[in-house]
Each structure stands twice: as C-alpha cells, then as structure tokens.
Amino acid sequence: MKSILFLAIVLLSLSFQSCKDNLSVPTPASRNYQQDAAVLNEFVDINKTTHEYYINSNKRNSVLSYITNVDVEELNSVNSLNLSIFKESINQVNSRCGQLAASHGVDYIVMITENEIYISQIKDDSPIELKKKQFDNGRYSSTVASLNVTDYKESYYINKSNYIETSVELNPQSYKNAGWAFYVTCHIRNIDNKETARVLFCGIGYNINPCFEWSVTQGDYAEWNFETTSLNAPCIANFKFLR
C-alpha cells in the first residue's frame, strides 16, 4: 500500500512539473547591436535647422504601421545598451556637423539617412554648386573612376569640365550601421583664379548609392582636383565619378 501511495505522489509531481513547463513563456534572445541599429536607422530624422540627427519615435515607415503599430513595438524592443551606443554614434556626427555649420568650416554639409538626402549650403560664396542627382527613367551613369574613402587622402584630377557627377557607395561592414562621415575637398582652377571647396558627407545608416551633381558657379570650364578623407578608421565607402 505504501509503495502504491509513493508511486502516486511521484506521478503527480511529474505531471505538475510537465504542466508548469508547458505554461512557461520562452524568453526571446536579445538582439545584437547591428540588428538593433538596423531598427533604429529607420527612425532617424534630420533637424535641418540645427544640422542634427535624432531618433523620431513617432515616425511611421509604412502604411501598415499606422494600423498595427508594429514599428513602435520594434523600437521599444531595442536593447537599452544598444540604444545608448547608437545615440553616442549620432552625437559624434552631430557634434561635427554643428561645429562646421557654426564656424562655416565647409561649403556644404550633406546629411544622409536611409530615407532622405539633405544638402545644406553653408557658405553663400562657394565656388561650386552641389545638388542631388535626379534620375531619368531609372537610367544610371557608369563609373569612370573611384576613390577609396579611408583615413588617408586619395585624389582624382579632372581637366576642363564645368559639370561632374559622383556617387557614394557605402561599405556596410565598415560603418556597422552607425554614424559615418568623410570630407571631400576639391581644388578648382579656371582662367581667372584658383579656389577650394570643402564638403562634409555624413550619415546614419545605409542609403543605396546616393548621387550628386557638381558644377562651377563662375566660368565655363575648370580643372578639378578631388581629395577624400574619412573620419572613420576603416575604408567606409567608395567615392565614384560617373559618366
């Protein structure tokens, strides 16, 4: 009789443990930084007055998000440590943009996110005009030359031209879904004089091959000497010249 009672207690205990296990809710594994940064990138906007990036928690990236609120849920699931690292990356880029805008240290600041390209002219008397290229019928220009954007200078010379097209091909593995920045300096010479223009390209996240149009503000033709210098240690991009 005792053995039967003991067996019943054991079976009841096992049954309770099995029920407990079945009711347990599995805890999802925490995402790594790059996964969280990919989510955060979608919520980054540009303050065009202060030349700053910021996380816009009210941003909606699809029509469905207005109905299901799925975007906000994704944002709220970001790991707090990863969020802190991401914000620090934004702050570093913002600091550089703010200083250069206030001191008029560059001719233009080009600010890029996954969904937007904003070009701000800092110097009114810049010898160049810089614009975002608009594509016609989906046609893309071919590449004629390319500079690796690294922490040392690379240069490319163009003779007698008043119009140049370039693109920025970012390296996702180098900037790791964080803030990135680099300078493009162009020395321009025409018949009358020689001038220098400096542009800061910066961004949060990845934008697929943004393209730009460069032209001189005075004269018909000029000699151009482009130089690129990265503010990130690895090679973060290729600066391409298009035909």
Question: Rounded to two decimals, what is the model's pTM?
Answer: 0.83
Give domain status of residue 207, yes or no.
Answer: yes
Give domain status of residue 189, yes or no.
Answer: yes
Give domain status of residue 27, yes or no.
Answer: no
CA distance linking residue 105 with residue 122, whole number of Å: 8
Q: Amino acid identity, residue 191?
A: I
CA distance linking residue 62 with residue 67, whole number of Å: 10
Tokens at 18, concatenated: 């099995």
Which pLDDT belongs to residue 136? 58
Tokens at 175, concatenated: 């900037």
How sure is the predictor about 174, in pLDDT bands with cuts at 50, 70 and 90? low
Q: What is the pLDDT of residues 210-232, one digit of tens each?
A: 999 999 998 878 899 999 999 88
CA distance linking residue 57 with residue 143, whole number of Å: 38
Structural domain of residue 82, as residue ranges? 34-242
Selection from 107, 134, 105, 104 nearest residue 119 by Cα? 107
Higher pLDDT, 6 or 186: 186
Sequence-ordered strand ranges (E) for 56-133: 108-112, 117-121, 128-132
Give domain status of residue 201, yes or no.
Answer: yes
Beta carbons of 34 and 176 less than 8 angstroms apart: yes
Interior angle at CA 199, CA 197 and CA 201, nearest 5: 165
Tokens at 237, concatenated: 């991009």
CA distance linking residue 138 with residue 52, whole number of Å: 31
Q: What is the pLDDT of residues 126-160, one digit of tens each?
A: 999 999 998 755 556 789 999 999 888 899 999 88
Q: What is the pLDDT of residues 64-98, one digit of tens each?
A: 565 667 777 889 999 999 999 999 999 999 999 99
Mean pLDDT, residues 8-30: 44
Classify residue 178 by its DSSP letter: S
pLDDT-wise least confident of 50-54, 73-77, 144-148, 237-241? 73-77
Give domain status of residue 2, yes or no.
Answer: no
State yes or no: pLDDT of 100 exceeds 90: yes
Give domain status of residue 176, yes or no.
Answer: yes
State yes or no: pLDDT of 56 exceeds 90: yes
CA distance linking residue 53 with residue 55, whole number of Å: 7
State yes or no: pLDDT of 19 exceeds 50: no
Give domain status of residue 9, yes or no.
Answer: no
Number of domains into which the chain is organized? 1
C-beta atoms surrounding 175 within 10 Å:
22
Which pLDDT belongs to residue 224? 96
Which pLDDT belongs to residue 71? 78
pLDDT-wise least confident of 6-10, 123-127, 166-170, 215-219? 6-10
CA distance linking residue 52 with residue 179, whole number of Å: 12
Beta carbons of 183 and 152 less than 8 angstroms apart: no
Give domain status of residue 5, yes or no.
Answer: no
Mean pLDDT, residues 189-198: 89
